[in-house]
Amino acid sequence: MRIDVLTLFPEMFAGPLEYSIIKRAREAGVVAINLVNFRDWARDKHHTVDDSPFGGGPGMVLKPEPVFETVEAVRATQEVKGPLVYLSPKGERLTQALARELAALPCLTVLCGRYEGLDQRVVDHLVDREVSVGDYVLSGGEPAAIVLLDAVVRLLPGALGDDQSTEEESFSDGLLEYPQYTRPAEFRGWKVPEVLLSGNHEVIRRWRSEMSVEETRKKRPDLLIGPKAEATHE
């Protein structure tokens, strides 16, 4: 999969892309992530990317020209077509279902906003999909893009140990995880549940399944019932 990320702050991605699953996926050639600073595509002497809003008001708005020019230049280098995803507080919520959908594509372009946002003509005539990571205020699209990249890249075939991913999906999809324990069997007087020491794998499997449902019922009952459950998990 190829992912181009358009941002004014490519340096913000350095750390997150150099660790763990994303690092290994890139090294294995499972994904190619290309960071593009759209300031580099501003044609004027001062590489201007923003301006004050027509009609007045606070803050700055990203100008359409550098964004269009960057997207057009990036598209010219992509051998396969893919959607332009704009990270925006007005977007549809990022869910596991959306992450799966995006992970199935051969190519993805991700646009990060800053300031008060983008000129609406970019949204209307260039963006295919607006995505938000939740109802809280971030200072820009970059942290949201890092979340999206992580959720998508770990789903790519070959990004994870295969056994781990498939087992996880079939057993607990849509539920919270059961509690995990490791040695010592007793720590400061707190004992590990007896069943886990029993060696009876069928009994352990059943206990974990029950704990999963119980944990979900207590902490996230919305995952078990309601119209959203289906949308989020499939």
Any contact of residue 211 with ligand 9D3 (CB under 6 A)?
no
Dihedral of CA atoms 83, 87, 88, 91 in degrees, nearest 10, equals: 50
Any contact of residue 215 with ligand 9D3 (CB under 6 A)?
no
Nearer to ligand 9D3 by Cβ, of 53 and 179: the residue is 53
Nearer to ligand 9D3 by Cβ, of 114 and 208: the residue is 114
Among positions 122-161, residues that touch ligand 9D3 (CB under 6 A) are 132-134, 136-138, 140-141, 144
Among 65, 101, 116, 150, contact with ligand 9D3 (rule: CB under 6 A) = 116
Nearer to ligand 9D3 by Cβ, of 134 and 157: the residue is 134
In whole angstroms, how far apart are CA 35 and each of 11, 38, 39, 185, 193?
Answer: 9, 10, 12, 47, 48
Nearer to ligand 9D3 by Cβ, of 141 and 212: the residue is 141
Give SS3 for 212: helix
Q: Are 41 and 11 in contact (CB under 8 A)?
A: no
Residues contacting ligand 9D3: total by CB under 6 A: 15
Nearer to ligand 9D3 by Cβ, of 116 and 214: the residue is 116
Among 53, 89, 174, 179, contact with ligand 9D3 (rule: CB under 6 A) = 89
Those residues with Cβ within 8 angstroms of residue 2's Cβ, 6 or more apart along the chain or in another chain: 31, 32, 34, 78, 80, 82, 106, 107, 108
In whole angstroms, how far apart are CA 186 and each of 105, 189, 194?
Answer: 48, 6, 11
Any contact of residue 88 with ligand 9D3 (CB under 6 A)?
yes
Strands 61-62 and 50-51: antiparallel
Please name which of 44, 1, 7 lies closest in space to residue 141, comparing C-alpha atoms. 7
Q: Which residues bind ligand 9D3 (CB under 6 A)?
A: 87-89, 113, 116-117, 132-134, 136-138, 140-141, 144
